[in-house]
Amino acid sequence: MSPLRTAFVCVLAAPALWAQVSDADFAAIKKEGLGNSKVMDHLDHLVNRIGPRLTGSDNLTVACEWAVEHFQSMGIENAHMEQWGEFPVGFNRGPWWGRMTSPEQIEFVCSTDAWTAGTHRPSRGPLLAAPKDEAELDKLKGELRGVWLVLTTTPRGALFEALNQAMIEEGGFGYVTGREGQRGELLLTSGNSRIDYDNLPQLPIVRVRNDGYEAMLKHLDAGTPVEVEFDIRNHFRRGPIPLYNVIADIPGTEFPDQYVVVGGHIDSWDGATGTTDNGTGTATTFEAARILMAMGAKPKRTIRFMLWSGEEQGLLGSKAWVQKHQDEMGKYSACLVHDGGTNYVSGIAGMAEMGPQLETAFAHVVGLSQEMPFKIRAIEAFRPIGSDHESFTAAGVPGFFWDQAGVANYTHTHHTQYDTFDAAIPEYQRHTSVVVATGALGIANLPELLTRENMVVQRGFGGGGGGRRGGRRTLGVQLGDDGVTIAELTEGGGAAKAGLKAGDKLVKIGETKITDRRDLFQALGGDKPTVPVTVKRGDQEVTVEVTLGGGANAGGGGGR
């Protein structure tokens, strides 16, 4: 690659005369988006009134129906739902709680994965250690009625099958676990939607935050009887459950059959309310549409607002839609996806050949705010991050995942119990909505479609949300809550072999500075089998060469 392709960064001090958004239109966008913003109202309704939106849940269907009505209330009469597929079983999560009742009273912070069993009623009983082998299981048989078993390690294969069968036959309540699948004090929600209604999970597996989990183990290790109580209202619904994307167009005035896509995924995990993943991106999509409609925008190309579902299970909705419309992809100029949380949109990255067009489209944006600067930067390839723009890049359409910056800690909320409305930052949401609306109008008004010249799309890992699997390269570490501190190392992994230690803070991988998980995903792209990793250890910086591994467990907080 030429030096130009890696060095190109555009930071304009003032709007260029050749901007694709007129001064008058930009003034109207700012006035509407900053002075009359409704972005937090959109978010409030979505995450507080509707709530979490697991793919296949009743809430997701309600959210899609509301989204259509909401777009229509802005004057976009063509808004509609388009079915992309179905799930064989629906899943709805009701209230849940848990506590230790003896020898001390502790209210637990706890959760279960989606598509797992509930309790049907408050279930109180003794907590016993799960057997570690067949001999221990034989001793427990006949004593399992009305008990909870704590899993310090997860039984595998035939042992777990035999244990589960004994628990079901004798009337055991279920299992309690901790640590596994957690980032420090965070509870991660995931789940497997591939279940059969005629063979549903029957026993809950409750994950308890580390403080409560360790309190239980302390008493058990001391030989003190422990009693716990859980009420987990998980419910299944026989399918098929139809699944939808939401589409709404502002028609183009000169090229109505050419498109600029603006969107994000409307589905979420259901361990909280799905605010930063991806209520914030859904809300800015709504707000960009509302701003443009309110100021009477007349884009040359059609601006298509899209809200996909099934993203968390592997970009299912966007992949299905692109596949269905594969023959039309040559008419799509770009796809702009907001799915990085509540931090403000700080830039856009494309091939160097796209630079001149992006400059004209975003000319006003780069001078919008000194406190929230915007940069256009060049990349060597569109690399997979794990969101719906990748469905478009795979079809040859420039798909952009916005750069973001700010004070919010995305790792703290991503798929955790803290992904709630209070995590959203109104100032950032307003700013981002103005950037998205301006950029969409600017790209729609370009004289030509965004160039595909020398466009490179790196493949090798993909998926989305909790389903990010494949050939992702990994360091062999588990990170802490801040997204940069190494909490644990995989035995025999590249990081451990290179001499990295728990407590080291990631500073840089190659030439990429690491501030959060998005930087990490970007840095682990490429084809080189090894990368230089710089960490801060105490007051010193240490750089080592790490041999990367390929891992399927690279999402969330661990397995990197």
Locate the DSSP E strands across 327-414: 332-337, 344-350, 375-378, 399-401, 403-405
205-208 vs 110-111, strand pairing mode:
antiparallel
pLDDT, tens digit only, all 560 positions of the chain: 333 334 454 444 444 446 899 999 999 999 999 999 999 999 999 999 999 999 999 999 999 999 999 999 999 999 999 999 999 999 999 999 999 999 999 999 999 999 999 999 999 999 999 999 999 999 999 999 999 999 987 777 889 999 999 999 999 999 999 975 566 789 999 999 999 999 999 999 999 999 999 999 999 999 999 999 999 999 999 999 999 999 999 999 999 999 999 999 999 999 999 999 999 999 999 999 999 999 999 999 999 999 999 999 999 999 999 999 999 999 999 999 999 999 999 999 999 999 999 999 999 999 999 999 999 999 999 988 899 999 999 999 999 999 999 999 999 999 999 999 999 999 999 999 999 999 999 999 999 999 999 999 986 433 333 333 333 467 888 777 667 888 777 777 888 888 999 889 999 898 788 876 667 766 776 567 788 999 999 888 999 999 887 543 333 333 34
Q: What is the pLDDT of residue 521?
A: 67
**Contact yes or no for 431/502 (Cβ under 8 A):** no
Q: What is the DSSP string of 414-459?
A: TTSTT-SGGG--HHHHHHHHHHHHHHHHHHHTSSSPPP-TT--B--
CA distance 534 to 541: 7
DSSP string, 322-335: HHHTGGGGGGEEEE
pLDDT at site 469 = 32
**Count of helices and strands (H, E) across the chain:** 15, 26
Cα separation, 354 vs 446, in Å, equals: 12
- The whole-angstrom separation of Cα 246 and Cα 518 is 26
Spatial separation of the C-alpha atoms in residues 237 and 246, rounded to whole Å: 23
Of 458, 450, 466, 492, nearest to 354 (Cα)? 450
CA distance 55 to 46: 15
Q: Secondary structure of 182-226 in the HEC alphabet? A: EECCEECCCECCCCCHHHCCCCCEEEECHHHHHHHHHHHHCCCCC
Q: Within its chain, how far is the Cα of 362 from the centroid? A: 26
How many C-beta atoms lie closer than 10 Å to residue 514's C-beta?
Answer: 21
How many Cβ atoms are within 10 Å of 160's Cβ, its own excluded?
15
* pLDDT given at position 468: 34
- What gap in Å lies between CA 297 and CA 291, rounded to an integer? 9
Asked if 394 and 315 touch (Cβ cutoff 8 Å), the reply is no
Cis amide leading into 201 (omega within 30): no
Report DSSP letters for 48-81, one per residue: III----TTSHHHHHHHHHHHHHHHHTT-TT-EE
HEC secondary structure over 255-301: EEEEEEEEEEECCCCCCCCCHHHHHHHHHHHHHHHHHHHHCCCCCCE
Give me the residue label for tokens 């799960």.
Answer: 130
Q: What is the pLDDT of residue 527?
A: 60
Smallest Cα–Cα separation from 29: which of 260, 364, 369, 404? Answer: 364
For 313, the 3-state DSSP assignment is helix
Domains of the chain and any CATH numbers: 3-51+258-444 (3.40.630.10), 90-236 (3.50.30.30), 471-550 (2.30.42.10)
Question: Which tens digit of pLDDT belongs to each residue from 294-331?
Answer: 999 999 999 999 999 999 999 999 999 999 999 999 99
Crossing angle (nearest 10°) for helices 23-35 and 280-294: 130
Q: What is the pLDDT of residues 158-167, one digit of tens each?
A: 899 999 999 9
The CA-CA-CA angle for residues 198, 201, 207, to 5°, reads: 165
